[in-house]
Structure formats: structure tokens, C-alpha cells
Structure 1
Amino acid sequence: MAVPGRLEPLLEQYDFACLRLVQRLGGPFVDSGNGLEIPVPPLTDAEFLWEPVPGAWSVRPRAAAALGTAALGTGATVLVGAGEWGRETAPVHPVPPPFTTLAWRLGHLAEMLALRAEYTVGGHRLTRDDHVNPGDAVGAVAAFEAGARAWREALLAVADDATLDKVGHSTYPNGSDAEERFLDVVWWVNQEVLHHGAEIALLRDLYREWAGRPDVPS
């Protein structure tokens, strides 16, 4: 099935953003932007869970929630998701927003992509409480890749311009999708992957510099 003309450049951008992020997380190389291949070490669990500042929001074991909010990031009140780990959040986010770890940002992307696909071409049943947040780097990258594939399949299911202009084609409950044209939702998802991908890349650079300091325990 042919991709509608207005969707084609956004799909190409989405594919590039996802590929760039996966390469930035697992290597073995990433294009520097001028054709040079820059070596990229695979993401480790220590880097995945690194908290550059006190009070950061992250993904944490369920046992942390059992200890109360003092064991969570600043302003966090709950761990969302299924399984042994949850992603920190609160009914009302603090202002200014809390700093979020690489684990939090990657988990947010995986959840957002998977659930948006669910509420576009899926059963419209799953919620954040059904989404599994892995507590390890390999599992988290795999979850992102699965979510990215699911959303791509939702995009490939778009048959015509009428669907792109349809308000509420996606009914994802954690956004304004039900009031938006689907084309605008597609644009929004792209910018989510692009800007969180850039944040994750910067966190990788910062961790490399921090971990290489002589005063940091090995």
C-alpha cells in the first residue's frame, strides 16, 4: 500500500530519528553528520540508571515505592507500569519539571509509542499500568524498538489523506490526540523522538566525561 504523499516525509524523518537513537544507544558506530563513523559503546546498566543530580526521576524497583515518597525522585508519588520496575511520575508534575534520567526518557518514549499504536490500530485497552518498564539497558532498548515498530505499523496503516485529516483517529489518553488531526499527532510523535533522542545523546556524552574522571569510583 502506498504511503500518502503528506505522510511520506514524516515517515522518513521518523525512521531516521529512531535509527539515529538506536545507533546512539548501542553502536557500534554512529554517523557524525559529516560522513565519519564515530564508535559508540553499548549502553550499560550503570549508565542507564545514572542520576546526574539528586532527586532525579527515573525507573525504580517496586520496593522503592513501598518505602514511601522519600525513596522516590523529588515530587514523584507513584511508579507507573507493570512488572518489577516502574517509571516515576505524579498526578501533577512539579514546576519546574524534575530532571529525568536516561532510563526515564527512554522508558517514556517506549511507552508513548506503544500506547499510541494501541489507541490507533490496536485494541484501545492497554494503559500505562500495563506497560512493562525494564530495569536494565538491554531490555529498555528492546522495549523502545518494539514501540517504534508498533507506531510505524500504525503509520503504514494510513490509506489516504482523509485519515490524516481525521480528528481522533488516535485516541491515546495521555495526550490531546482525540482533539487533533492525525497528521498533527504524527508530527508531534516525531518531535518527541527527536528531542528526547537528543537529550539521551547528551546524557551519554555527559556520562562518558563523568565516568572518566579520576575521582569517580570504577
Structure 2
Amino acid sequence: MGTASGPSGRLGVLLDQFDRAREMAQVRLAGLGDDEYLWEPVAGCWSVRRRGAAVTPRAFGAGAWVLDQGAADIPANEYEEVARQAADGMTVDKIAEDWSVSVERVRQVLAHSGPVQPDPVHVTTLAWRLGHLHFCFAGQWEWTFGERRTDPKDLVDFSPSAAVALERFWAVLDRWRTDVAALTDEQLDTVGLSQYPYGSDPDDPFVDVLWGTVLEFIHHMAEIGLLRDLWQARFTH
């Protein structure tokens, strides 16, 4: 994969996949207005809100608008991920730091056996999903290619304007892709090339980090596409 002048091999495959997903995302997000961007399809949604009006205890952002975030915990659908971290050699203390929970909570998860009861699902707005992706890509860039000084939660100036949010988001993606495309095979295999503080990036080869980042982009863009479909359906059904 890759072009004659662009990356090939593993990097080419992942960037080709990302590029195709981005093309589809730009088509899907064309014409996004503010009402749809901030639409709350059910009560209790997480969204982008004015500072002081957030409905969650750990909402964050660099400016006057913040992204809702709930209390720190390990959700039921991540129990297997915690088990994988432990199996890969992460200490209980490190896992607790990774998830921002107590050591006792990690031990409780690792000791769990049998079926896991699903957690209540927090429905999020299109603004939240786009803001979450913006936060992830901004943080990944800062802690891989940047100065690695600023907390990712202080990097993004969230906006209630769909046009402004999209302009800033595409710019962050462009910067991230440009620097990723210049990586060598040796850098792809470097453990800790990314020091992104939320997750296992410092303990993983960068090619694994990159794979997860592309997956996150595709995953949330699919959700955004469904929200656009539901927004349109509310007027036609």
C-alpha cells in the first residue's frame, strides 16, 4: 500500500485506511449546523458546555467551554483490557494510575470472575464525540511530536460552533498525519515513542499506538454518522 512518493509497508496500510476514513468523514460532516452539533437526543447527555454548566464532575477544556467527563472508574467493558495490561506485565500501581482509580479498584477488577454486568451507557452528543476525537489527536501529537509538557486536557479550546470546531479539528488531523507519515520503521517499533499520559502508549511500540488511534477515529466517526442519520430522521418520520 501507499503511493510511489508516500509511505509503504505497515505505515502505508494504516495511513491509507486513515485517509479513506477521513474522506468519508468529511463527506458525512458537510453542512453540519450548530443545532445538530449540540443536539441532545435523550435526557442526561454528555456534551460540550459552558464552564460551570457541565453536568459531570471532571469536565475539562482550555477555554470557556468544556467537555463532559464522568467520575474515574473502570467500566465493565474494559475489564478484559485491564486483565491484558496485567498479563503484559503492567503493575497494579501503574494500571491504577492509567485508569485514575485506586489500587483496590484494580485488584477488584482483576479478581472478578464470571459474567460482567454492563454499565449504564452515557449517550453523548455529536459535539462531544467530535471534541473527544480532537482531544485525543491533539494529545497524541503533543506527547509524540511536541514538547510533552501540556496536559492533553488543557490543549483543546472547545467551541459551541460546529464550523469553528470542525476547522480546528481538521487542522489538528493534518498536523498529526504529516508527522506520522515521516516516521521510519525503527520509530514505528520504538516502545514509548508516544508518551501520551492517558493509556498504555509509553509501554507500547508506536505501530500499536497508531493502529489504536486509527481505530478510534473510525469508531467515533461511525457513531457521528449515525447521529446525523437520527437527526435527519426526527424531521422525516
Q: TM > 0.5 between the two?
A: yes
Greater strand fraction, Structure 1 or Structure 2:
1
Q: 1:143 aligns with which of 158, 168, 179?
A: 168
Rounded to whole Å, the distance in 1 between the matches of 2:121 and 2:187 is 35
Matches within 5 A, 1:44-193: 44-65=33-54, 72=55, 76-92=56-72, 95-127=119-151, 128-159=153-184, 161-193=185-217
Greater helix fraction, Structure 1 or Structure 2:
2
Query: Structure 2: which amino acid aligns with 1:5?
Result: G
Query: Offset at 1:4?
Result: 4.9
Rounded to whole Å, the distance in 2 between the matches of 1:82 and 1:96 is 29
TM-score (norm 1): 0.81
Rounded to whole Å, the distance in 2 between the matches of 1:212 and 1:188 is 37
Rounded to whole Å, the distance in 2 between the matches of 1:78 and 1:21 is 29
- 1:15: which partner in 2? 19
* Number of residue pairs aligned between Structure 1 and Structure 2: 188
- Bigger mean CA deviation after superposition, 95-104 or 52-61: 95-104
Query: Offset at 1:184?
Result: 0.6
Query: Offset at 1:3?
Result: 2.4
- Root-mean-square deviation over aligned CA pairs: 1.6
Query: Identity percentage over the alignment?
Result: 43
User: What are the ranges of 5 or more consecutive residues in structure 2 without an aligned counterpart?
Assistant: 76-118
Query: Structure 2: which amino acid aligns with 1:77?
Result: P
Rounded to whole Å, the distance in 1 between the matches of 2:13 and 2:165 is 28
Higher RCO (CA 8 Å, separation ≥ 6 residues): 2
Rounded to whole Å, the distance in 1 between the matches of 2:155 and 2:16 is 30
Query: Offset at 1:12?
Result: 0.7
Rounded to whole Å, the distance in 2 between the matches of 1:2 and 1:100 is 37
Moved over 4 A (4+): none
Rounded to whole Å, the distance in 2 between the matches of 1:91 and 1:63 is 16
User: What are the ranges of 5 or more consecutive residues in structure 1 without an aligned counterpart?
Assistant: 27-41, 66-71, 214-218
